[in-house]
Chains A and B, each alone.
Chain A
Amino acid sequence: MKYLIVIVTIMFLSSCLRLDDNLYNLTDKITEYKLDNYTGEQDFILDNSYHIPDSLIHVFTLSSKTVNESSAKTIYAIYIGQISRIQTDTVIMYCHGNKWHMDFYWQRAKLLAHTSGKNKYGVLMIDYRGYGLSEGSPSEDGLYADADAALQWLKLKGLSDNRLMMYGFSMGTAPVCELTNKSRSMIPSKFILEAPFASADVMANDGSGLNMPGSFFTNLKIDNAEEIKTINQPFCWIHGTNDNFLNINSHGEVVYKNYHGIYQEAHRIPGADHGEIPVKMGFDNYLNTLSTFIKK
């Protein structure tokens, strides 16, 4: 019995398996960004009326380093718009979700570039480290560092805080909440969360049906539901009522309820599943909603 207790104790203390590394969805490997020529799975494909001229599409790299890293990682970014106009334009920083790469999210970024009119606002999107062609392996710190590297670039190009809008979809809501709550390079003037998740605890609760803490399976500290409590900027929340992955009640409503800032608006989209919001809303309605919020 004594030996059994020793073995069990050693096994428990030495065990180190975590699901963290498996949480990031990098399964579709690419060798180049194809954008409009990408033929893989996408949530939707826009018609030619949403075409963006090549002269307004800029694919480039950024350097990003977390506090604990000795060397920077090279990550990829796409800016839609005239870079020279960043000094005067409003810019939407789009933080994409957990799936694959920017080719998958290209149609979404292109759609955002039509907010308030074609190319009225600039749109910046990045592939976090490990996603798409960006170097390195994904991590929570890396998400924040990479998004902040993008904000540093915007600041360098002349963007001021009052013209910065942060938009996060799904996993991308984590860097938006983090960098809005604990500003680094820039302070966003407004933020939009599409299908946000609340926290690892909520995911564990939903997955098990029990009051199970997220720490039983992951070391992720992402906690949008708590982080949003101290954010003051105007907030727009969009969530599908039929979201099978991030339940609107356990995730979205909690995040929305915990916001205590100066302005909030909610758009619960009937019948929309995760990733279906622009389609279910209709592109025009979706863009009008964003435009109205940004102009408020």
Chain B
Amino acid sequence: MLRLIALVSFIGIMFQNCAPTRFVKPLAKNQNAISANLGGPLIHFGKPVIPIPFTSFMYGRGLTNSTTAFASVHTTAMLYGNFQTDIGVCQRLYKHDSLKFGITLNPAVNMVYDKWNNNFRAWPQLDVNVYKDILKDKAFVYIGLTNWFELSSKKAHNEVQKNHALINPHIGLTYNTKKWGYTLECKFLQMNSKNKPNVVDYVGIQKKGAVGIYLNFCRRF
């Protein structure tokens, strides 16, 4: 049974956190971008520590200079017969040109449909990021929160859903070339949940949650 619970936790984390923040800075108007990302919670795999290699692909387009729309396909979830996508926008809220920092908000909706039982679920997501340009604007660092919201008042067996917000802090670095962007992001997943004892040996903090590492490769055109 321990194994079972560990695997369920694994999948729970997978659904929520198989991708980094989609956009920290909006694209320019009419600019397009596609990205592939790889990464997930860190686990001890024998002696080495590795991230679980979750994958997803995303497409984004700049609607204005401060608003970018995006949609994704989660390929790892798909391998398990679940069609998962997150669709949303990145909206710049504030920008300080001389101090070279800004604040953005990513409202999105995560939708999952499983082909086995035709179950469908949707969860709103709201990422908040603060970024600071560095290296003569070739790169930026950012910190933020990835927030998932459960709107349902009930859960399995008609029990009351008490937890309506899942908050995962993250920090990241993006380096841009003319066409490409490379991002390394680190999240603290399920920071309020115990991670031990567990068959999957997560690397957490103070025996809680899991540290997730994500790589994102973005091509703009």
Contact = CB atoms under 8 A, between A and B. Distances in A.
Interface of A: 8, 11-13, 15-19, 22-25, 97-99, 170-171, 197-213, 215-217, 219, 225-226, 244-246, 250, 254, 258, 274
Contact of B9 (A18, A99, A207): A207
Contact of B1 (A99, A206, A208, A216): A99
A274 B156 contact: no
Contact of A198 (B112, B156, B197): B156
A216 B75 contact: no
B36 to A, nearest CB: 13
Nearest to A206: B8
B217 interface: no
B75 to A, nearest CB: 7
Contacts, number: 147
Interface stretch (B38-46, B89-97, B101-109, B158-166): B158-166
Given A15-B81, A16-B81, 18 more contacts: A12-B78, A13-B115, A18-B81, A23-B3, A23-B4, A97-B1, A99-B1, A203-B5, A204-B12, A206-B12, A209-B190, A210-B12, A210-B148, A217-B7, A217-B80, A244-B194, A246-B5, A258-B157
Given A207-B8, A215-B114, A216-B15, A98 B3 contact: yes
Contact of B121 (A200, A202, A211, A217): A211
Contacts of A201: 155-157
A245 B193 CA distance: 12
B1 A98 contact: yes
A244 B115 contact: no
Given A18-B81, A244-B194, A212 B15 contact: yes
Nearest to B196: A244
Contacts of B193: 209
B123 interface: yes
Given A12-B78, A18-B80, A213 B119 contact: yes
